[in-house]
Amino acid sequence: MSISIGQIAPNFEAETTEGRIRFHDWIGDGWAILFSHPKDFTPVCTTELGTMAGLKPEFDKRNTKIIGLSVDPVDSHSRWADDIREVTGHAVTYPMIGDPSLEVSKLYGMLPADAGTTSEGRTAATNATVRVVVFIGPDKQVKAYLAYPMTAGRNFDEILRLLDSLQLTAKHKVATPANWKHGEDVIIAGSVNNDDAKKLFPNGWKEPKPYIRIVPQP
């Protein structure tokens, strides 16, 4: 199956480095980010998991839980965590899902249904598509879905920026323009007509074009 924005994030049960979880129950009533990796003890992923660990306080401030996934077993994750801390200086203090049966990877469309039922004998190259970031809202809907090749490390500043945009636009009837950062001007959503916009934004807006209405971030 494939994952689409707006669908309910597939639920599952799995072992993690912090015990067995049922995914939707683990998310609770906040936001969550699931980010996946093709294999333990791989160079780019080592830097990514450490970077995410260093940024965990930023995700905590945004009421967002983070969880990693790799197709290898949990005991391998625990050994890998020692390397991650040594290389990056950040201890992994969030759970990492073990997916040795490939069930979660298939459920999230990262591997095809005929990929087999075990991670044994598989290489990072055969798992290359297990490199996604899934943003999930409190309603358990997928809000954004990013995929990366193995050779390109993820930009976690962009992941935080996108999370800020998703949370802002979920609360207010606005959209964020290109290269927007938290605190900058935003655009009134196209679904809001001018009469309603006057009620929501009584101080008015800048209008370089009739279809572009710019206001300070709410």
Residues annotated catalytic, as ranges: 45
β-pairing, 13-16 vs 212-215, is unpaired
Distance of CA 69 to the CA centre of its chain: 12
DSSP secondary structure of the chain: ----TTSBPPP-EEEETTEEEEHHHHHTTSEEEEEEESSSS-HHHHHHHHHHHHTHHHHHHTTEEEEEEESS-HHHHHHHHHHHHHHHS----S-EEE-TT-HHHHHTTSS-TTS-S--TT--TTTTTT--EEEEE-TTSBEEEEEE--TTS---HHHHHHHHHHHHHHHHSSEE--TT--TTS-EEE-TTS-HHHHHHH-TT--EEEETTEEEE---
**Which residues have C-beta within 8 Å of that of residue 105, sequence separation ≥ 6?**
36, 69, 71, 99, 111, 115, 127, 130
Short-list 128, 161, 14, CA closest to 73? 14
